[in-house]
Amino acid sequence: MTSFGLAVLLVAAALSAALLMSKLSARISIPSAAFFLLAAAIASDRFPALAVSTPTVERIATVALIVILFDGGASIGRRRLRESLAPIASLGVLGTFATAGLAAVFAHWALGLTWITAGLLGAAVSPTDPAVMFSVLGDREIDGRTGTILEGESGANDPVGIALMLGMIELATHAHGSFWIVVRVFGEQMAIGLALGVAGGAVEAQLLRRVALPSPGLYTVRTLALAGIVYGVATVAHGSGFLAVFVAGIVVGDVEAPFRDEIDVFQEGLAALAEVVVFVALGLTIDLGGLSLARWGEGLALAAFVALVARPAATAALLAPTRLRAGERLFVMWGGLKGAVPILLAAFALGRHVHDATRIYQTVFVVVLASVVVQGGTIAVAARRLGVEMRRVPPTPRGQRQS
C-alpha cells in the first residue's frame, strides 16, 4: 500500500505542477507542451526507471488523441465547418502531402538520407498538431475564418499524416513494394474512416437527443464511450480511427442535447488532461543525453525549412481562392504548429524497426520542440503584426460561445 500511495502522490503532484505550468505558459506565451516535453525528457534521463517503452507510448498517445480529436471536432461543429470546408479540406489533404514531399526532398538532398528514410521523415513532420493548436487557441478567439481554418486543418491533417506514415512504413518494410502500397493504404484509411465517422456521429447525435440517462454525470461519460466505439469500429475495419473520431465530433458538435454545457466542459477538461499526458509520455521516451549535435543540427535545419519554406509553399496556392487578407494567409502559414502527432508517427517507425528509425525519432523530437517554442511562442505576436484580431475570451461553455 505504501508504494501505491507513493505512486498516487507522484502522479497527483505531477498533475498539480502541470496546472501551475499552464498558468506560467499563459504569461510567457510559450505553450505548456514545451515544458511538459522537456521536463519529462530530463526526468527520464535522471531517473531511467521512468522511461516508457515505444508500444506503451503508442497506446497512451492513441487514447489521448481520441479525446483531443473528438473534442476538437465538436468545438468546430458543422456550422463553422461549412464556412471554411474548402480550405480545411485542401490544407488537410493536399497541404499535408505537399509539405511531406518538400520535407522529404530537403531531407534527402540536405541531410543525406535515402529516399525511403527521407519520405518517412517527411510524413512524420507534415501534420500540424491539434493538442498544441487547441491549447494555444483554446482561450483566444480569432475574428473571421482564420481560427476555424487552423483548428480544422490541425484535426483533419492528423489522420492524413497517420495514413501516409502507415503507407510509407508498409513500403519501407516490404523489399519489393512499390509506391502503390502507400496509395492503397491511404485510400483505404481515408474512405473507411470518413464513412464510419459520419455514420457514428449520426448515431451518437440521435442517442444524445433521444436516450435519457438516470444521472447527469452519465451524459458526459457516454460521449467518451461513444468516441471510443467510433475509433474502435473504424480501426477494426482497417480505416482511420482518428479521422472517424474527428468527423464524429464535428457531426455532434452543434447537436442540442440535455446537459450540453456540462458535456462540453467535461470534454474540454479531459482534452486538456490528455494533452498533458501525451506530451509527458512522449518526453519519457527521449534520451536527451543520446541526442548528438548532429541530430540537433538536422532537427533545427528541418524545422526551419518546414516553417519558412515547405509550409508556406504548400499552402500559398491552396489559400489563394479563399477570401482571406494577405495577413490572414501569412498567419495560417505560420500557425502550422508541430506537436505530439509527429512524435507519435516517428514512434510508429521505431516500433516497426524501419531503417534509421532512431535517427528519425530524434530528429522529429527536435523539430517538434523548436516548433512549439518558436512558432507557438510567437502566435500572439504574429497575429498583432499581421493584423489578425485575436483576443482572450472568458471561460464560457462552448454552446454559449457559438450561439
Best CA proximity match to 191, nearest among 229, 138, 247: 247
- Distance, CA of 85 to CA of 2 (rounded, Å): 54
Per-residue confidence (pLDDT) for residue 104, from 0 to 100:
93
Residue 16 resides in a domain: no
18 domain residue, yes or no: no
pLDDT value of residue 261? 73
74 falls within a domain: yes
Give the tens place of pLDDT for each residue, 174-231. Answer: 666 566 667 777 788 888 988 999 998 888 888 877 776 766 667 677 777 888 899 9
Q: pLDDT by residue (tens digit) across 304-341? A: 999 999 999 988 888 888 877 888 888 888 887 887 78
pTM of this prediction? 0.80
Rounded Cα gap, residues 137 and 149, in angstroms:
12
Give the number of C-alpha atoms closer than 13 A to the C-alpha of residue 320, restricted to the C-beta side: 7
Task: Give residue 103's pLDDT band: very low, low, confident or very high (50, 70, 90).
Answer: very high
| In-domain check, residue 11 | no
Q: Which helix (H) or strand (E) holds 392?
A: strand 390-392
Q: Give the Å distances, CA to CA, from 17 to 21, 135, 329.
A: 6, 17, 37
Provide the residue type at 33 as one letter. Answer: A
Sign of the alpha-carbon torsion through 325, 330, 331, 337: positive
Any domain includes 14 = no
Q: How confident is the model at residue 402 (pLDDT cuts 50, 70, 90)?
A: very low
3 state SS of 218 = helix
Average pLDDT over residues 380-387: 80
Gyration radius of the chain over CA positions: 20
- Give the count of domains, the chain: 1
C-alpha 279/C-alpha 335 separation (Å) is 19
CATH code (residue 344): 1.20.1530.20
Enumerate the β-bridge partners of residue 141.
Answer: 391
Which burial class, exposed, middle or buried, applies to 38 when counting CB atoms under 10 A from its CB (0-12, 13-18, 19+)?
Answer: middle
Mean pLDDT to the nearest integer, 245-252: 88
Q: Which cell numbers in the block locate residue 60?
A: 497512451
In a domain, 20, yes or no: no
Is residue 392 one of the residues assigned to a domain? yes
Three-state secondary structure readout of 150-211: HHHHHHHHHHHHHHHHHHHHHHHCCCCCCCHHHHHHHHHHHHHHHHHHHHHHHHHHHHHHHC
Cβ-proximal residues to 361 (8 Å cutoff; 6+ apart), any chain? 285, 343, 346, 347, 349, 350
**Helix%, strand%, coil% for the chain, nearest 5:** 80, 0, 20
pLDDT of residue 392 exceeding 80, the answer is no
Report yes or no on 242 lying in a domain. yes
- How does DSSP classify residue 142? E
Q: Give the span between the Cα atoms of 157 and 89, in whole angstroms.
A: 9
pLDDT(163) > 90? no
More confident residue, 399 or 326: 326
- Domain span holding position 50: 32-402
Tell the residue number behind the cell numbers 498539480, with chain if given: 16
